[in-house]
Amino acid sequence: MATASAGEDSRICIYPCYLNSTVSASKGRKIPKDKAVENPTTPQIFDIVHKILKLPAEMQRTRHPKDWKYLGRVRVSLKDDNGSYIKEELCSRKALMIKVAELLPKHPSREGKEGGSGSSSQEPAAAGGVGSLPARKKPSGGKKKK
């Protein structure tokens, strides 16, 4: 019974906000902004960790306390049952997050979205994208009629 809880505690969590360049450090970003990527998703992170880095991982449906917009996290085991690291170069959670952030732009679902002038990522917000609110009419300021 003690080994199951120890195995559970040894896994680390990676939420998308940890790697998101649009999120501030106070809202949850864990790596430097210049190494982070724009709007990573949980399935993309899982694919990188599980299929490319070949680490045991599990995707879970839960939300980060400071970032409720995005659903999901990835739980990763850095050590095997003997307690030794599976990959010596990934011996800390920060090293893993930086490696995942380096590989995310090469993910098949992200190719073509990043790179170039970068103006394409700003156009949807200016054109009424997901985060923008519709323009509201200013009140006239006159007396209300009864």
Alpha-carbon torsion (28, 31, 34, 39), positive or negative: negative
Using CA atoms, how far residue 81 sits from 7, 11, 25, 58, in Å, is 8, 12, 33, 16
Is the pLDDT reported for residue 118 higher than 60?
A: no
**Strand 57-64 vs strand 12-14: parallel, antiparallel, or unpaired?**
unpaired
89 pLDDT above the threshold of 80: yes
- Between the CA atoms of 78, 83, 85 and 86, what dihedral angle is there, to the nearest 10 degrees? -70
Residues 6+ apart with CB under 8 A from 38: 20, 21, 22, 114, 121
How many Å apart are CA 24 and CA 45, to the nearest integer?
19
User: Of all residues in the chain, what percent carry a pLDDT higher than 90?
Assistant: 45
Sheet of 12-14: strand order equals 12-14, 67-76, 57-64
pTM above 0.75, yes or no: no
| pLDDT-based confidence at residue 71 (cuts at 50, 70, 90) | confident
Cα–Cα distance measured from residue 118 to residue 80, given in angstroms and rounded to the nearest whole number: 41
Give residue 65's pLDDT: 86
Q: What is the mean pLDDT of the segment spanning 15-42?
A: 92
pLDDT in tens, 94-115: 999 999 999 999 988 877 665 4
